[in-house]
Structure 1
Amino acid sequence: MKIRDTLSDAAAMVDSVIDGTRGVLYPARMPQFHRLPPPDAAAELVGWFWIPEWDIEPGRTSRQHIVAFPALNLVVERRGVELVGAATAATYRDLTGRGWAVGAMLRPAAVAALTDDPAALLDTSTKFDAPELHGAVTRAMRAGGDHRHADAVRALTAWLVGRVGEIGPVARQANEMSTILMGDDSVTRAEDVAARLSMSLRTLQRLAHRHVGLAPSAMIRRRRLQEAAQRIREHPGADLAAIAAELGYADHAHLTNDFRVVLGITPRSYRSARE
């Protein structure tokens, strides 16, 4: 089966597992945006591929606010390739003119092949020298047509698989760590993850630092904050104290503090401005 067919068949599956707007604070303001599942060859390397395309009227700007997943992203745009580090706060980007991006949200197993120190990239990015990758993805996107996204993902997948090579046991363990931290709502402490992986808390912390750049506790906080924002957005009449309790916060005040620290606003303010 060709990769484009695999992506077409799997698109609905990723929507059922990952909300396409998870981490996006104001989805109604987003340009055309797609999240595509990785083909089998990249399943251990990429959580999903994301492709925004925009065409903003001259003189106007579209500001996109994101509470990013705690992961690195490899991003190809017209201007080049960037490796974007994990973020510790909400981020935004102002879109103007016409453009596109093809990004891969990297799983921890892919990170070591791209940087020796992911923590050094927290809240920043660096240009990545990959002219062959840039050329292949750019050709796919410029070609247009219904298969441009699948072709761009195929190009990025082929490059990344070749770059990373064989996946070792430590890298797979890092993937498992991330899956638990970001996918299991019952996990509220880093110690819980260490116990599941049969390792010490210090070993878990080193694993997260080497493959993500963030502490395990920070990854848990990001997951809960994303979930809280999504629930507030989708259920504006819901009781904030109940949301805080359901997500494992000690109380409403702790949820409010997380919002203030990461987003710069309170949950009530976000509920009022969610559109």
Structure 2
Amino acid sequence: MIDARRGVLYPARMPDFHRCPPPGEAAELVEWFWIPQWDIDPGRSSRQHVVAYPALNLVVEGDAVELVGATTAASHRDLTGRGWAVGALLKPAAVAALIEDPAALRDRSRIFDAPDLRDAVVRAMGDGGEQERADAVGAFAAWLVRRVGEPSEVAREANRMAEVLMSDPEIVRAEDAAARLSISLRTLQRLAHRYVGLPPLAMIRRRRLQEAAQRIREHPDTDLATVAAELGYADHAHLTHDFRAVLGFTPTAYRAGAP
């Protein structure tokens, strides 16, 4: 199971935020649904920093639906005013029915033409209470199941690929994942390209960076060299390089600012 706590760099700064498991048949299509709700004082904003999962998201917000591609760097968003969003962190099996080439959407997003999805989620959300959120997730899940249909065996193999790459700490190379799945390296690479839009190694690196940030955030007294070694980095310097390249700052600087 992918750890839902990873990815958000500064959880204490988040608005009211809910993660909801996918109901029923949508479990093969969605890792989880996420619903932020915010009410920011006039003239102020709240910046949210995220190391996103290497996956696509389908998001309903306001009067639009947006398909967000996998990212290769940290990102942020400035929240203002009052609002909400309902998003689905998509499993690979859902992707093929939504976009032909997910790699073309890497580090990008686009408006997704699905007015029926938008209307169903907006209608269900109402005033955004607990029951309304559950209804919105149910409506979103039902739409995805209808749109995607029964996943193929290849799509299910892509799901297994993502699960291994994003949850198994012993997987530090693409070759490790191919061996675990009993497929060739070339097949692994094709699955990742078609269903995620990123190379397998990029997905592994994102998992390790998320895990490193989580450990530093939750256990600030932990020695950084120990974190690097436990997550498969060659040494502390390689961990620092990944932090700086993706996040723009060092693990030491993050540890100082995370609380």
Does the aligned pair in 1 maintain the 2:2–2:166 contact within 8 Å? no
Q: Structure 1 regions of 5+ residues with no counterpart?
A: 1-16
1:264 to 231, 248, 253: 248
* RMSD of equivalent CA atoms: 1.0
Determine if the alignment matches structure 1 residue 193 to structure 2 residue 177. yes
Task: Show the counterpart of 2:91.
Answer: 107
1:59 to 29, 37, 43: 43
- Following the alignment from structure 2 to structure 1, what is the Cα–Cα distance between the partners of residues 63 and 174? 39
TM (norm. structure 1) is 0.92
Q: Label 1:272 to 1:131 Cα distance change in 2 as closer, same or farther (>3 A).
A: same
SS in 2 for 1:22: coil
Determine if the alignment matches structure 1 residue 90 to structure 2 residue 111. no
- Following the alignment from structure 2 to structure 1, what is the Cα–Cα distance between the partners of residues 229 and 81? 43
The aligned amino acid for 1:105 is L
> Which 4+ runs in 1 deviate beyond 4 A?
17-20
The aligned amino acid for 1:175 is N
SS in 1 for 2:58: strand
Q: Structure 2 regions of 5+ residues with no counterpart?
A: none
Q: CA deviation at 1:21?
A: 3.4
Q: How many matched pairs?
A: 259
SS in 2 for 1:34: strand
Using the TM superposition, name which of 219-228 and 17-26 deviates more: 17-26
Q: CA deviation at 1:18?
A: 5.6
Give the fraction of aligned pairs with identical amino acids, expressed as a percent.
72
1:167 to 151, 174, 198: 151
Q: Label 1:61 to 1:143 Cα distance change in 2 as closer, same or farther (>3 A).
A: closer
Does the aligned pair in 2 maintain the 1:77–1:101 contact within 8 Å? yes
Determine if the alignment matches structure 1 residue 215 to structure 2 residue 199. yes
Q: CA deviation at 1:146?
A: 2.7
TM (norm. structure 2) is 0.98
The aligned amino acid for 1:223 is R
1:121 to 105, 108, 111: 105
Does the aligned pair in 2 maintain the 1:191–1:201 contact within 8 Å? yes
Task: Show the counterpart of 2:218.
Answer: 234
- Following the alignment from structure 1 to structure 2, what is the Cα–Cα distance between the partners of residues 225 and 235? 15
SS in 1 for 2:94: helix
- Following the alignment from structure 1 to structure 2, what is the Cα–Cα distance between the partners of residues 224 and 97? 34
Q: Label 1:94 to 1:225 Cα distance change in 2 as closer, same or farther (>3 A).
A: same
Q: Label 1:30 to 1:144 Cα distance change in 2 as closer, same or farther (>3 A).
A: closer
Superimposed CA distance per residue, residues 201-253 of structure 1 (whole angstroms, 9 cap, x where no aligned partner): 11110110000000000000000000000000011111000000000000000
Superimposed CA distance per residue, residues 174-217 of structure 1 (whole angstroms, 9 cap, x where no aligned partner): 00000000010111111011112222111110110000000000
The aligned amino acid for 2:116 is E
